[in-house]
Structure 1
Amino acid sequence: MPEVEVKSRSSAERALLEPLLPSLGVGTATGVLGVAYGTVAGILVSTPRPLLYSSVSGVQWFCAGSTYFYCRSALLAHPALTAENGLHRVVASGVGGSCAGAVAGAFLPKGAIRSGGILFGVLAAITQAGLNFAQGSSIGLPSSLQQGIASLIPMKSLSDKEYEDLLLNKLIKIEAEISILDDQISNLRAASKQQASTSIEHPHDSTK
């Protein structure tokens, strides 16, 4: 029993510590994006302090990005969850999104923490479920909800035969369009030749 407790404790500690450095890297990348966004947004809203505006935006994006990645990675690294399970990925992404939304909402007026956590959590869970479906793995959700999510995703996995048929149909359409263009060019050339021959036969209809 003590050995089992030590192993579970070490696994939990590893799940909490290992994502720290990677999450800081992700947070740095999102922070750079936040600075870029804040710079553009500051110009658009004509803020009197553009440097402060972009800096706060960068810090907000850094905190939100690092929080999301850390929470999601820590949950999936826990022995109770696994990254191979579609439902576990959806849950981890949803929790990470909620935490990131709450952190981002802390930089906004009062009341944004709760709404930001709910909104980002739902978006992150739906996005992860969509990625699971697009990758052909099990989403881990009820079939009716999976069908609803699938209807919102403008992509699906194609077999080699379906992909070949799709390319063939597009090729046929392109050939038809080229044929129409050839006919139009031929008609234009014929009209041009007819106009040229008419002008040769009647070089000048001089007016008096």
Structure 2
Amino acid sequence: MSDKTTPTDIKPPRRGIFPPELHDILSPSLKLGGMTGTVGAITGFAAGTIRDTSTPVLFGVATGVQWFVLGSSYWFTRSLMLKLRNKDQETTPGSKIQASAMAGGATGLIGGLFRGPRNILPGVFMFTLLGGGGQALVNLYHTTDFSLKERRSIFESKWSPLKKLSDEEYVDMMDEKILRIDAEIALIEEKIAELRQAPGQPAGAGREQSKS
């Protein structure tokens, strides 16, 4: 028998339901949606209990479903916009802001459909601002390179009420405080010695003055 494999023996790689490109976007979106949905369900249940509704569990489930749809749709739209843009050019901070703003607008549209037609335009406007503004803050945090060295500089600033000391500086500071305490104790002992050496008042002097 030959150990050689024929082309018919080679099995083609197993493919998933979705294409790899779509799976790379859909899987993180569903994970994020599951996280937001869980938070939404807990929040909805708590709100339903506080409002003393007759069905707090149903209220929590409905809120969880809404938050799941909003979270997953936001991340899916954002990831899709960035992936389409990456085919032409590299991702820039500006493109991230645009993708996040567009994803926020799509999320606001879906949220407006949940709450009624009157809430569509305000939802699109608010979520667009939140998406773009939040991404701008994230970009600002990363571009400022808030490293450990710069964090230490905050303590070293003259305007900061706190100062981070090294072990040697801490030991020197404690030695200085001990010397000050020893000097104060020496002054107190000198004053006590002076009071002891001073002539005392006779014991009967106070009584004679009181009788007179």
TM-score, normalized by the shorter chain, greater than 0.5? yes
Task: Give, in whole Å, the separation in 1 of the partners of 2:32 and 2:26.
Answer: 10
Aligned residues: 148
Aligned residue number for residue 36 of structure 1: 42
Aligned residue number for residue 68 of structure 1: 74
Residue 66 of structure 1 and its aligned partner are, at CA, apart by: 0.5
User: Is 1:132 aligned to residue 124 of structure 2?
Assistant: no
User: Is 1:107 aligned to residue 96 of structure 2?
Assistant: no
Aligned residue number for residue 198 of structure 1: none
Task: Give, in whole Å, the separation in 1 of the partners of 2:26 and 2:45.
Answer: 28
Aligned residue number for residue 171 of structure 1: 163
Deviations 1:131-152 (A, max 9, x none): 1011117xxxxxxxxxxxxxxx
Residue 158 of structure 1 and its aligned partner are, at CA, apart by: 6.2
Aligned residue number for residue 119 of structure 1: 126
Task: Give, in whole Å, the separation in 1 of the partners of 2:89 and 2:115.
Answer: 33
- With structure 1 as the length reference, what TM-score do the two structures score? 0.61
Matched to 1:157, the amino acid is F
Does the CA contact (< 8 Å) of 1:15 and 1:74 recur in 2? no
Residue 109 of structure 1 and its aligned partner are, at CA, apart by: 3.2
Task: Give, in whole Å, the separation in 1 of the partners of 2:153 and 2:97.
Answer: 33
Query: Structure 1's 53 and 104: CA in aligned 2 closer, same or farther, altered over 3 A?
Result: same
Q: Which runs of 5+ in 2 are unaligned?
A: 1-18, 165-172, 189-212
Across the aligned residues of Structure 1 and Structure 2, the Cα RMSD in angstroms comes to 3.1
Q: Secondary structure at the match of 1:18?
A: helix
Task: Give, in whole Å, the separation in 1 of the partners of 2:37 and 2:105.
Answer: 18
Task: Give, in whole Å, the separation in 1 of the partners of 2:96 and 2:142.
Answer: 13
Matched to 1:109, the amino acid is G
Does the CA contact (< 8 Å) of 1:81 and 1:88 recur in 2? no
Matched to 2:152, the amino acid is E
Q: Which runs of 5+ in 1 are unaligned?
A: 1-12, 138-155, 191-208
Q: Looking at CA atoms only, which structure, 1 or 2, has the larger radius of gyration?
A: 2
Task: Give, in whole Å, the separation in 1 of the partners of 2:55 and 2:89.
Answer: 45
Percent of pairs with identical residues: 28
Deviations 1:162-186 (A, max 9, x none): 54342235128xx8xxx8xxx9xx9
Task: Give, in whole Å, the separation in 2 of the partners of 1:17 and 1:165.
Answer: 44
Residue 16 of structure 1 and its aligned partner are, at CA, apart by: 4.7
Does the CA contact (< 8 Å) of 1:82 and 1:88 recur in 2? no
Residue 80 of structure 1 and its aligned partner are, at CA, apart by: 3.7
Task: Give, in whole Å, the separation in 1 of the partners of 2:48 and 2:90.
Answer: 42
